[in-house]
């Protein structure tokens, strides 16, 4: 992925973009399953009434970690000579490990509940697949733009 010069505000923007997406997902989940899971998970402690400040802070922390992992693994800033497949795998594994740690620390769901872990793994796999699909689409668009610019530069129509 091509990396232009970035400043702190670029990273702050990325953190809040990730945070916004995560919050939107949890708003939707709260509306759908919030009442059923109100006493079960700290993520849904308020049921359909919203997301607690504590959970919002936890999700913001997760957004910071995801953004840091993106910068480390998915840009050429630190790791340029590793294949994108390996870098993507490292990114997803890192984020998953951090999320597992956060599940334990913040009691996002009962850690001895197999159904909860199954749901986590399924939802993480789905989000990972969707993310990979979006990333691949963006990469394809960027490559197409670069090819058109190169063709124009070389005088090819």
CB atoms within 10 A of CB 18: 19
pLDDT at 135 over 80: no
Q: What's the whole-number mean pLDDT along residues 133-155?
A: 84
Q: How much of the chain is in helix, strand and coil states, percent to nearest 5?
A: 75, 0, 25
In a domain, 146, yes or no: no
Whether residue 124 is contained in a domain is answered as no
Nearest residue to 61 (alpha-carbon basis) of 8, 110, 10, 16: 16
The tens digit of pLDDT for each residue in 81-130 reads: 888 888 888 999 999 999 999 999 999 999 999 999 998 999 899 988 88
Task: Report if residue 45 sits inside a domain.
Answer: yes
CB atoms within 10 A of CB 87: 19
Structure tokens that stand for 127 in this block: 């989000």
Exposure pattern of 140-150 as b/e (b: 16+ CB <10 Å)?
eeeeeeeeeee
Range of the domain at 51: 8-110
Give the per-residue pLDDT at 122. Answer: 94
- Is residue 68 assigned to a domain? yes
The reported pLDDT for the residue numbered 2 is 45
User: Does residue 58 carry a pLDDT above 90?
Assistant: yes
User: Which pLDDT does position 4 carry in this prediction?
Assistant: 59
Q: What is the number of domains present in the chain?
A: 1
């Amino acid at each position: 992925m091509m990396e232009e010069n970035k400043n702190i505000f670029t990273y702050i923007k990325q953190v809040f973009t990730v945070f916004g997406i995560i919050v939107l997902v949890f708003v939707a989940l709260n509306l759908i399953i919030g009442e059923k899971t109100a006493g079960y998970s700290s993520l849904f402690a308020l049921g359909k009434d919203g997301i607690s400040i504590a959970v919002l802070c936890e999700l913001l922390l997760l957004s910071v970690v995801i953004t840091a992992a993106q910068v480390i693994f998915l840009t050429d800033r630190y790791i340029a000579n590793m294949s994108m497949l390996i870098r993507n795998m490292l990114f997803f594994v890192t984020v998953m490990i951090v999320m597992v740690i956060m599940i334990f620390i913040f009691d996002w769901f009962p850690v001895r509940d197999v159904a909860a872990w199954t749901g986590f793994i399924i939802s993480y796999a789905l989000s990972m697949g969707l993310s990979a699909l979006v990333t691949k689409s963006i990469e394809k668009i960027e490559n197409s733009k670069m090819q058109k610019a190169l063709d124009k530069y070389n005088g090819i129509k």
